[in-house]
Amino acid sequence: MNGVINQSVLNVFPTVLGSTLQHALTGFILASALLQTPVIAAQWSGHVSGQFRGFFEDPADPRQHNSYLSAAAEPEFYHSWQGGDQSFNTILFYRVDQYDDNRTHGDIRELSWTGVFDAFEMTAGISKVFWGVAETQHLVDIINQTDLVENVDGEDKLGQPMIKLSTAQNWGTLDFFVLPWFRERTFPGVEGRPRPEVVVDTDADAIYDFSAGQDHIDLALRYSHYIGEWEFGLSYFSGIDRLPSTFVPNDQSTAVIPVYSLINQAGIDGQVFFGDWTWKLEAINKEYRSGQRKGSHTFQSVFGFEYTWVGFTGGASDLGFVVEYHYSDANARETIFDNDLATALRFVLNDAQSTEVLLGFLTDAETHTAAGFIEASRRIGQSWVLEAELRTYNGTEENRPLYSFRFDNFVQLDLAYYF
């Protein structure tokens, strides 16, 4: 395969669980739930949705399309007992896409039991955990793998098998994680859009540059606390990096195969409130423990603020100003967040329909490439929610991360029914 593989483009798009582990976790959780009586709270909820994604220009690859339709369902079941000290939660997800076979996929987002025992809390099963405070990038958020076929913003996550033990004390909260099974990142297929020009082959076995492979047991620890108006968290992760460290050509096709490496990652996140101002910081230091990059380090950070103008129209509406600066000492070909400034406006109408609009730009300080976005949502009646999204890419340069998306300006509409 000729040409240079732009790793950062593939990583911008930040497997079904092994049957043995899945059955063991399922059996453990269901058995725990059934042995407890009486059930004091049980609830079914969730949503079904339809989505339209339309592009303004013809694609760079003729195998891609100008418009896509898809439908998704995400049912949830929750119940608790023993006065709420024990609970069982299930969230399932499935999407059917018109063209992209990789985007037609399902996942167990949650299948977990949680028990509270005095000052300790334990969660076992498949679950999701979020770390971070920044608006445009969550550097410290490493527990769950990104479900990148869902959206290019990387906000959607796959369920992660875990055992989590937490304790909340006067001196802060301590969370310890044992993560026994690695989830590989999802990538768009040949007909998917937007996607990198080089297709990632997710049907072929991913490459692990260490002996344990997907069975490696990852460990993580996080301490969080607040002092007055200050909130902060310190985290440490040792295991398989959620981002592929590189990609290698597939000898059987023109696609590439992701390579995963072991890392140690130390992180800090925090925010402080001064009246209408909120200052935010996330930073990580990543050390590679395996593969060609073994022994190397990378440092990344995002720092900024959000100012909220309360009642800017003289009524209940609020206007937020978001500014964040992104820095990385990695090569510019490895990340789009190497020297970039994000600016955004957030409109919150605080009306009965929960109307919100976020619009902004991410601008590269060196190339002046700008990625624009608008995200809006509004409830219709009691059960319907309409979401709209616009993403644009302007001034992209060849051999830079966003060049693959130079024809991929698109609008997306989602209509969801919640039950």
Q: Which of 239, 237, 29 is nearest to 131 (CA)?
A: 237
Query: Tokens for 144?
Result: 């769950």
Residue 401 above 50 pLDDT? Answer: yes
**239 Ramachandran zone, left/alpha/beta (phi>0; psi -120 to 50):** left
Of 14 and 266, the structure prediction assigns the larger pLDDT to: 266
What's the pTM? 0.89
Pick the CATH number of 7-14+24-418 from 3.40.50.80, 3.90.1150.10, 3.30.70.260, 2.40.160.10: 2.40.160.10
Mean pLDDT value of segment 87-104: 98
Query: Tokens for 89?
Result: 């939660």
Per residue in 134-186, pLDDT (tens digit) is 999 999 999 999 999 999 999 999 999 999 999 999 999 999 999 999 999 99
List, in order, residues 6 or more apart from 265 with CB less than 8 Å away. 142, 235, 236, 237, 238, 241, 284, 285, 286, 287
Residue 76 above 60 pLDDT? Answer: yes
Per residue in 251-297, pLDDT (tens digit) is 888 899 999 999 999 999 999 999 999 999 999 999 999 999 999 99
Whole-angstrom Cα distance, residue 100 to residue 53? 12
Q: So where are the chain's domains?
A: 7-14+24-418
What 3-state DSSP class applies to 182? coil
Q: In what order do the strands lie in the sheet with 256-260?
A: 207-208, 256-260, 246-249
DSSP H helices in 258-332: none
What 3-state DSSP class applies to 278? strand
